[in-house]
């Protein structure tokens, strides 16, 4: 039994059109996300085999591969749930309060996450996360799937800035893709993630 499994999309491939084409979503979920799930499972197996053989000489590469693929699986699993054909607008309630406290205003937060996503050098993510030590929200600019992360923070809203997320439709104009993502954000899902992450 594999440890990690590819989750079903919560909507049809074409549900997010015209912002994101069905072709992009199908490839992104069925090929790219699936590859991270397989990569994580394969690496867990290789680590078990290495322990069994008493040969941990490849540990550095295996740990890097696990972190990359597992983080890719985690982020994509959140990304699908963060988006909705009925999304957009602004958060309400506790999430709106936390955004205002942490960033000054929704507009300030939106500008920061937009800039963080649009300016990732190469492949990565813009992430809104709950940072438990200070008890506030932060924006992270993640490289690959797992670098430049404030460890211990919990991702709540993730914008995929890898070219595979937008290139078929937006070509090199990543900022246009990021603007359209805001029209898809499922704030109920983001709010539920904050409630789960934040101590009562
Ligand atoms: Mn992706």
Q: Where do the domains of the chain lie?
A: 21-82, 93-197
Cβ atoms of 77 and 32 closer than 8 Å: no
Kindly give the distance from the C-alpha atom of residue 108 to the centroid of ligand 1, in angstroms, as a whole number: 26
Give the mean pLDDT of 28-41: 98
Looking at domain 21-82, which CATH architecture does it have? Orthogonal Bundle (1.10)
Give the mean pLDDT of 6-33: 98
Kindly give the distance from the C-alpha atom of residue 49 to the centroid of ligand 1, in angstroms, as a whole number: 29
Reported as a single tens digit per residue, the pLDDT across 114-163 is: 999 999 999 999 999 999 999 999 999 999 999 999 999 999 999 999 99
Kindly give the distance from the C-alpha atom of residue 72 to the centroid of ligand 1, in angstroms, as a whole number: 7
CATH superfamily placement of domain 93-197: Iron/manganese superoxide dismutase, C-terminal domain (3.55.40.20)
- Which residues are found with C-beta within 5 Å of the ion, ligand 1? 160, 162, 165
Reported as a single tens digit per residue, the pLDDT across 56-80 is: 999 999 999 999 999 999 999 999 9
Kindly give the distance from the C-alpha atom of residue 112 to the centroid of ligand 1, in angstroms, as a whole number: 20
Kindly give the distance from the C-alpha atom of residue 27 to the centroid of ligand 1, in angstroms, as a whole number: 10
Q: Matching CATH topology for 21-82 and 93-197? A: no
Cβ atoms of 127 and 140 closer than 8 Å: yes
């Amino acid at each position: 039994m594999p440890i990690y499994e590819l989750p079903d999309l919560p909507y049809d491939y074409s549900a997010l059109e015209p912002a994101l084409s069905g072709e992009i979503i199908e490839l992104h979920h069925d090929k790219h996300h699936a590859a991270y799930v397989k990569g994580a499972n394969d690496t867990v197996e290789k680590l078990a085999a290495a322990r069994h053989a008493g040969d941990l000489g490849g540990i550095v590469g295996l740990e890097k591969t696990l972190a990359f693929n597992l983080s890719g699986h985690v982020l994509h699993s959140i990304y699908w749930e963060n988006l909705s054909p009925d999304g957009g607008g602004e958060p309400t309630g506790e999430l709106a309060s936390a955004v205002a406290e942490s960033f000054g205003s929704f507009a300030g937060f939106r500008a920061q996450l937009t800039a963080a996503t649009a300016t990732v050098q190469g492949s990565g993510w813009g992430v809104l996360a709950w940072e438990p030590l200070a008890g506030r929200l932060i924006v992270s600019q993640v490289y690959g799937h797992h670098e430049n992360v404030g460890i211990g923070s919990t991702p709540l809203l993730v914008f995929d800035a890898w070219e595979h997320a937008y290139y078929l439709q937006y070509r090199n104009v990543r900022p246009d893709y990021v603007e359209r993502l805001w029209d898809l954000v499922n704030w109920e899902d983001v709010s539920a993630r904050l409630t789960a992450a934040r101590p009562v």
